[in-house]
Homo-oligomer: A and B are copies of this chain.
């Protein structure tokens, strides 16, 4: 399968680089990656205000802004790569991009997450770009599911260690207008052995509209088993 992945990446016409992609290291050159969880010109006033408000809350250490990158390199997920990943999969990984960061600025997911360790809580401020459309004028349910999975997953991993989604149960209450800003509020509810139970909801910035709710179950990975071996 990785041969076909390599073939894909050689597809004529496929872009060879994107704005914000890291400069690749082919020698000992240091890889420089752009932190995507910082304001860019596509951010609306609503998103920028929420960002500024929570950056202030970070000053006393109660909240922490979480950086975010298009690609996984040395520091990010180093433990995952070392402990769980079959080496045969690593070849393709260097060409891959994180799904939620694979869009041009402003067209897809624009977001920043903040973590509160005392509350085991992650807040995600999300602006939904025009390339996330489902029904005309509204965000695709899959795009909402994606950011609910990402936010609850970040909450699970921050609170309990490296884990993967086992179940995601979403109630879609009110559709989200395309290009609006929403707040995803996620919290660790319970830990039972390797099981981490996390819930979240998606609300409008003024908190008046509850767009969606979800509960998620994550399983902490077992360092004795690679994901590949389980298959």
What is the interface of chain A, defined by CB distance below 8 A to chain B? 1-2, 4-5, 7-9, 11-15, 19, 41-42, 44-46, 72, 77, 80-81, 85-86, 89-90, 92-93, 95-100, 102-108, 129-143, 145-150, 153, 164-172, 174-175, 177-180, 209, 227, 230-231
Residue of B nearest to A148 (CB): B142
Measured between alpha carbons, how far is A99 from B138 in the docked complex, in Å?
Answer: 11
Which one, B96, B134, B149, B227, contacts A142 given CB within 8 A? Answer: B149
Measured between alpha carbons, how far is A119 from B40 in the docked complex, in Å?
Answer: 49
Measured between alpha carbons, how far is A34 from B106 in the docked complex, in Å?
Answer: 24
B11 touches A105 (CB 8 A): yes
B7 touches A130 (CB 8 A): no
Which one, B4, B15, B172, B180, contacts A164 given CB within 8 A? Answer: B172
Q: Which chain B residues lie closer than 8 Å to A9 at the CB level?
A: 106, 130
* Closest chain B CB from A36 CB (angstroms): 14
B4 touches A179 (CB 8 A): yes
B129 touches A85 (CB 8 A): no
A141 touches B153 (CB 8 A): yes
* Closest chain B CB from A163 CB (angstroms): 10
A140 touches B98 (CB 8 A): yes
Q: Which chain B residues lie closer than 8 Å to A46 at the CB level?
A: 4
Q: Which chain B residues lie closer than 8 Å to A104 at the CB level?
A: 13-15
B14 touches A107 (CB 8 A): yes
A130 touches B180 (CB 8 A): no
B99 touches A133 (CB 8 A): yes
A13 touches B19 (CB 8 A): yes
* Closest chain B CB from A7 CB (angstroms): 7
Q: Which chain B residues lie closer than 8 Å to A8 at the CB level?
A: 42, 44, 106-107, 129-130, 179
Chain A to chain B contacts (Cβ below 8 Å), 15 pairs: A1-B177, A4-B45, A8-B106, A8-B107, A77-B135, A80-B135, A80-B136, A96-B131, A96-B136, A99-B133, A99-B143, A140-B149, A141-B149, A145-B170, A168-B168
* Closest chain B CB from A13 CB (angstroms): 6
